[in-house]
């Protein structure tokens, strides 16, 4: 399987048994390759070309090379792009540890011997399924969610208390609750990953620690956390990808608006440029996270 | 005697503490589960509320006098529009079914081959899968629009189906899952004279069942909820999908339409929920073992 492409190609031309299997393999993957080439690779390449060009004539799609003009404009002329990129990033980076800590806590709770564990697991996973997409945006737009949250708020903040802590206090608690909802609704997958990782840790380790009179608190920091290290890294990366590609963030909305909802000049090219900047930015964030957690993961491997 | 008494006492205290922490645990779990599920329950429940309960403030959470009038209202509201509700329903069912079927076939075949057959340049392909998975889809929408026009798919059902089929996530999931399929099994089948295609049909597909059940749930939800694509690639109103209709209702919401909107939300949401409940065991197993959505 790990044979080089050139070797495979030679085998395929000679029609050996190896080559025959390779042909079949290629045939099996062919539909996917065609699809990905047409609907991902080609559009991506086209998007890169567009981002350094100016459309001369929209009907014939004549392009003029303009270099990094749109990139320059995004960073130095557009007064909206950089601030909204920053605010989206800050928001997501605040959520990143919160989502992961919450997911880890829930996974730890689920890992105990409790009844109806499967039911709880499914409930925590539901928002992953229904909390995204067009329909949820509609519902959020219709304030259905706000009503439901408001309902919970009514239970949490009684009027007397609200009168006592004042409007700013209520606002603070409300923004906290809003964030809490976002965090909880985005941690379904992470919970499952942590849970399955927890179940692979051998109980013998905990038993040995208990014999050596370690408290549960200590064995969490010295056994559980190091054993989970690779999964924590994976989950952090996954969370970044998931939160940065949620369609309701202002940068992606801006890209969408430029692409389909405005008649401004050069909106297409500009939208492509901004989109690519955004992608590179997300990849950078992922790279930084991997670098920062690398030591932690390697230490954990050596220790374990 | 004394010793025994002490022993019993300790046991008793332990048992009480255990129960107390158990209760705390359950309380925490139930509390969290409620916060997670309440908005969903609320939306589902709202579809059955009569108009006076719908407009009550503060909103009532549980429906007191359930009614189906919202659904009949929905049909009435759409009766006056040029495109009947059933047409949207038909479009959505057709597009979703074909997209789901296509995705599963392409992903299982591809993932099986990538994992168990020798595919030239499989490393490059897998890197491509990873890159595609990290990409927010919005970024390449303009060229995507152009290529759909160029292929002549614009304003056909195919525009809503074909681009979705070669998804990166499905490919990734199937490849990861297939890596767990023991190779000797395949070799034995090959020695017994089974062709590659029948190995795929008779061994790989049944083995991959939890994985493609998961893919089924996710692709179904994604397609069923996705109205945006049908707004962009379709100009003919009668070929558009259910979520578009929901938007149309919600945009000119007046009080009388609130019920219709609630019913429409229910219709969009319920099928995903049902499919998930039916397949949840497989979904959970898959998510835990091979992967990430």
ipTM of predicted complex:
0.83
Q: Does A210 have pLDDT greater than 80? A: yes
Together in a domain, A118 and A221: yes
Closest C-alpha to B293, from A190, A287, A280, A285: A190
How far, CA to CA in Å, does A95 sit from each of A85, A146, A183, A288, B74? 15, 20, 6, 17, 39
What class, spelled out in words, does domain B69-290 have in CATH?
mainly alpha
Q: Which residue of A has its CA nearest to B145?
A: A43
Strand partners, A57: A62
Whether B221 has a pLDDT exceeding 80, the answer reads: yes
Touching check for B293 and chain A: CB below 8 Å?
yes
pLDDT band at B293 (very low <50, low <70, confident <90, very high): very low
Task: Give tens-digit pLDDT for A150-176.
Answer: 555 555 556 666 677 777 777 777 777
Chain A CB contacts of B61 under 8 Å are: 148, 151
| Alpha-carbon span A252 to A85, nearest angstrom | 9
Residue A147 lies in a domain: no
Is A17 in the same domain as A107?
no
pLDDT at B159 (0 to 100): 92
Helix A250-260 crosses helix B141-150 at what angle (to 10 degrees)? 40
Q: b/e map of A136-175 (b: 16 or more CB within 10 Å)? A: bbbbeebebbebbbebbbeeebeeeeeeeeeeeebeebee
B124 C-beta neighbours (distance < 10 Å), count: 11
Contact B63, B53 (CB under 8 A): yes
Residue A273 lies in a domain: yes
A151 vs A61, A81, A275, B50, B63, CA distance in Å? Answer: 53, 36, 38, 19, 14
The CATH number linked to A239 is 1.10.3720.10
Same domain, A118 and A205: yes
Task: Provide CB contacts within 8 A for A94, sequence distance 6+.
Answer: A179
State both tokens at A299: 């230490």
Q: Is the pLDDT of residue A141 over 60?
A: no
Same domain, A214 and A121: yes
Query: Does a structural domain hold residue A68?
Result: no
Cβ–Cβ contact A198 with B under 8 A: no
Residue A35 included in any domain:
yes
Give a yes or no: residue A270 inside a domain: yes
Cβ neighbours of A151 in B, within 8 Å: 38, 42, 58-59, 61
Residues in chain B closer than 8 A to A241 (CB atoms): 133-134
Residues 235-264 of B with CB under 8 A from A: 243, 246-247, 250, 253, 261
Asked if A129 contacts B225 with a C-beta cutoff of 8 angstroms, the reply is no
Which helix (DSSP H) or strand (DSSP E) does residue A62 occupy?
A: strand A62-65
- State the sign of the Cα–Cα–Cα–Cα dihedral B101, B102, B105, B107: negative
pLDDT value of position B246: 74
CA B59 to chain centre: 29
Chain A residues 206-265 with CB within 8 Å of chain B: 234, 238, 241-242, 244-245, 247, 252, 255-256, 259-260
CB-CB neighbors (< 8 A) of A12 in chain B: 120
Whether pLDDT at A1 is above 80: no
Q: Which domain holds residue A47?
A: 1-51
Decide if B140 contacts A43 (C-beta within 8 A).
yes
Contact between A244 and B137 using a beta-carbon 8 Å cutoff: no
Question: In DSSP terms, which residues pair with A53 in a beta bridge?
Answer: A65
Same domain (yes/no): A109, A236 = yes
Mapping DSSP to helix (H, G, I), strand (E, B) and coil, where does residue A57 land? strand
Residue B195 above 80 pLDDT? yes
Helix (H), strand (E) at residue B58:
none
Query: Is A172 part of a structural domain of the chain?
Result: no
Residues paired with residue A54 on neighbouring β-strands, in sequence order:
A64
CA distance A98 to A182: 10
The percent of residues in chain B predicted with pLDDT above 70, rounded, is 83
d(CA A8, CA A17): 11
The answer to whether position A289 is within a domain reads yes
Beta carbons within 10 angstroms of residue B233's beta carbon: 22
Chain B residues within 8 A of A279 when measuring between CB atoms: 135-136, 139
For residue A64, the SS3 value is strand
Q: Which residues pair with A55 in a beta bridge?
A: A63
Where are the alpha helices (H) located in chain A, listed in sequence order? Answer: 5-14, 17-36, 42-51, 69-72, 81-110, 117-130, 133-141, 144-156, 159-185, 188-200, 203-211, 216-219, 225-244, 250-260, 267-303
**β-strand partners of A64:** A54
Residues A84 and A207 in one domain: yes
Q: Are A47 and A80 members of one domain?
A: no
What per-residue confidence (pLDDT) applies to A131? 59
* Cα gap B94→B238, rounded to integer Å: 13
Span A246-253, mean pLDDT? 81
Strands A62-65 and A53-57: what pairing?
Answer: antiparallel
Domain match, A95 and A195 both = yes
Query: What is the mean predicted confidence (pLDDT) over A251-260?
Result: 86
| Between B256 and B165, residue with greater pLDDT | B165
**3-class DSSP state of A53:** strand
Report in angstroms the alpha-carbon separations of A140 from A21, A159, B177.
51, 25, 35
Query: Are the beta carbons of A51 and A66 closer than 8 angstroms?
Result: no
Confidence of residue B251 (pLDDT cuts 50, 70, 90): low
- As for how many domains chain A has, the answer is 2
d(CA B204, CA B112): 7
Considering the domain architecture, whether residues A90 and A236 belong to the same structural domain is answered as: yes
Give me the mean pLDDT over the B184-200 stretch.
Answer: 89
């Amino acid at each position: 399987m790990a044979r080089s492409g050139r070797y495979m190609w030679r085998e395929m031309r000679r029609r050996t048994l190896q080559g025959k299997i390779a042909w079949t393999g290629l045939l099996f993957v062919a539909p996917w390759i065609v699809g990905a080439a047409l609907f991902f690779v080609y559009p991506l390449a086209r998007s890169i070309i567009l981002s350094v060009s100016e459309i001369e004539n929209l009907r014939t799609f004549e392009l003029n090379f303009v270099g990094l003009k749109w990139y320059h404009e995004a960073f130095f002329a557009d007064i909206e792009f950089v601030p909204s990129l920053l605010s989206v990033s800050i928001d997501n980076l605040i959520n990143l540890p919160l989502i992961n800590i919450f997911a880890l806590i829930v996974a730890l709770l689920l890992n105990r011997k409790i009844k109806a564990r499967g039911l709880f697991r499914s409930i925590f996973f539901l928002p992953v399924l229904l909390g995204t997409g067009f329909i949820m945006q509609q519902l959020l737009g219709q304030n259905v969610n706000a009503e439901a949250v408001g309902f919970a708020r009514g239970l949490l903040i009684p009027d007397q208390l609200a009168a006592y802590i004042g409007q700013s206090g209520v606002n603070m608690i409300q923004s906290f609750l809003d964030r809490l909802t976002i965090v909880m609704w985005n941690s379904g997958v992470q919970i499952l990953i942590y849970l399955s990782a927890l179940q692979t840790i051998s109980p013998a380790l905990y038993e040995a620690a208990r014999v050596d009179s370690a408290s549960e608190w200590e064995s969490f920091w010295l056994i559980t956390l190091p054993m989970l290290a690779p999964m924590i890294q994976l989950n952090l990366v996954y969370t970044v990808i998931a939160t940065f590609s949620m369609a309701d963030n202002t940068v992606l909305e801006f890209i969408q608006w430029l692409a389909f909802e405005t008649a401004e000049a050069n909106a297409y090219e500009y939208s492509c440029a901004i989109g690519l900047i955004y992608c590179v930015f997300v990849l950078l964030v992922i790279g930084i996270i991997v670098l920062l957690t690398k030591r932690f993961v390697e230490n954990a491997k050596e220790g374990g | 005697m004394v010793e025994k008494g002490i022993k019993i006492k300790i046991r008793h205290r332990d048992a009480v503490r255990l129960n107390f922490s158990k209760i705390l645990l359950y309380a925490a779990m139930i509390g969290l589960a409620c916060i997670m599920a309440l908005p969903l329950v609320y939306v589902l429940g709202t579809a059955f509320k009569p108009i006076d309960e719908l407009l009550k403030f503060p909103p009532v959470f549980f429906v007191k006098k359930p009614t189906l009038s919202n659904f009949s209202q929905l049909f009435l509201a759409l009766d006056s529009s040029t495109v009947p509700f059933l047409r949207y329903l038909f479009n959505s069912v057709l597009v979703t079914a074909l997209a789901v079927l296509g995705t599963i076939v392409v992903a299982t075949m591809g993932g099986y081959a990538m994992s168990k057959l020798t595919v030239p340049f499989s490393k490059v392909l897998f890197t491509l899968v990873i890159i595609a998975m990290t990409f927010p889809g919005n970024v390449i929408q303009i060229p995507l629009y152009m290529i759909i026009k160029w292929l002549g798919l614009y304003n056909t059902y195919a525009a809503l189906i074909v681009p979705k089929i070669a998804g990166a996530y499905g490919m990734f999931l199937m490849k990861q899952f297939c890596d767990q399929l023991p190779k000797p099994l395949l070799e034995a089948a090959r020695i017994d004279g089974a062709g590659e295609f029948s190995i795929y049909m008779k061994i790989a597909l049944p083995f991959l069942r939890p994985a493609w059940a998961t893919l089924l749930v996710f692709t179904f939800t994604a397609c069923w909820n996705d109205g945006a694509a049908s707004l962009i690639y379709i100009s003919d109103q009668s070929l558009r999908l259910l979520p578009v209709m929901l938007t149309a209702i919600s945009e000119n919401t007046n009080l009388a339409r609130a019920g219709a909107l609630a019913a429409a939300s229910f219709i969009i949401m319920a099928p995903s929920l049902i499919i998930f409940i039916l397949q949840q065991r497989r979904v959970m197993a898959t998510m835990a073992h091979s992967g990430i959505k």
